[in-house]
Amino acid sequence: MNNISNGWFTKAKKINSPNYNNRPDKVSVDAIILHSISLPPGSYEGNDIDHFFTNQLDCDKKPFYHDIRDLKVSSHLLIRRSGELVQYVSLFERAWHAGQSLLAQRENCNDFSIGIELEGTDKSNFECVQYNTLTEVVALLLDYFPEITVERIVGHSDIAPGRKTDPGIGFDWHLWKNQLAKQTSRIK
């Protein structure tokens, strides 16, 4: 059973990213932002996501990487196609996943959210095991951060419309929220 201890999931593979900073004082974590990522796009092999989030990506490896060479980004969590959970940043810190963003008239979603990446693209379907891991993770986050409500679990596309499209059309919100409702009593 996975738990959270000192801001870290106990069963997650831990890879420390330098791309984070402190959350603003007196700002509560009250949202979860779902993303999708694969590097290169559409490829699910290797450790390029880990290298990207730790500023170690070989940008000469693929032409696409030249476009992201100067980005300094991270996420709190990644759920691989296999269902493996990877954590890069403590839940208490601000990961750099949302960019310019707005949720319920509040800007800078990195300040108050947890970023969860699903290995995939904004056009791909996701694996059942990814939904299972996501359900377990979010159920724990809902218990750990009681200010998060199901209405504040949104996609990157919801907080950056026109700029972002992830997690995309392949993410089945209805299926996943039904699965989550069975896992936790907080969702009716």
The CA–CA distances, whole Å, from 133 to 85, 96, 141, 168 equal 7, 22, 12, 18
Out of 84, 93, 107, 117, pick the active-site residue: 117
Contact 112, 30 (CB under 8 A): yes
Q: Please tell me the distance from the alpha carbon of residue 176 to that of residue 128, in angstroms, as a whole number.
A: 10
H-helix or E-strand containing 35? strand 31-37
Tallying the residues shown for the chain, one arrives at 188
Q: Is there a catalytic annotation at residue 117?
A: yes
Q: Please tell me the distance from the alpha carbon of residue 85 to that of residue 141, in angstroms, as a whole number.
A: 14
Please give the positions annotated as active site.
Answer: 117
